[in-house]
Structure 1
């Protein structure tokens, strides 16, 4: 489920219509098709600490933020295929794990990279930016 903290609804395009990555007639990747999915647990203290700034950082970078808590079975089922593509047995994932992904709402999603574990706000921003830089 998309977090209620000012998250952009999946499929919504009203927030960044003039962004250079917005989907064009030629089919260029849209900023709104690119998301960061946070896989976390309600019982994880580091996940909770990250929640004070992770969504804000992601949205400042022009990306959609999707909060997927393992206890929220409906949301977890929806994004499980993405998590299991990156971690088939979940043994090496961190808490939290942020997966940067194109088209997460479709079966044609593409994983661009990840950020695992807790980080200070500036370092978290830098790590997400590094994933984005690798894809350009």
Structure 2
């Protein structure tokens, strides 16, 4: 519904994984996409974005530190007609996706909501998201 009606979307962690699997989402079980990417550190690893991506324009930086609290990742082998992977962790796992068909349709694997006090990137992401929500 949100994609068809251009309603802003910000998918976080499992939300990004659900977005990637749209429209054929099935419940993830422990399989080849299961990983141990969980750290209590506020900044666990870096993410590098495609400099041409909408997310990079919002964040204002190509590479930055993020937290990590996930046990699954998206499977790049699964084709997706809606989303493009626009960011990777330093170990090569997808960390960000976006859909160019919509004004604001972004998924991130990290938890920016937990970094609002520490991260200017997180503030920029939520400010942009709320701005697009107000304009909808």
TM-score normalised to structure 2 length: 0.31
The structure with more helix, counted as a fraction of residues:
1
The structure with more strand, counted as a fraction of residues:
2
Higher RCO structure (Cα 8 Å, ≥6 apart):
2
TM-score normalised to structure 1 length: 0.31
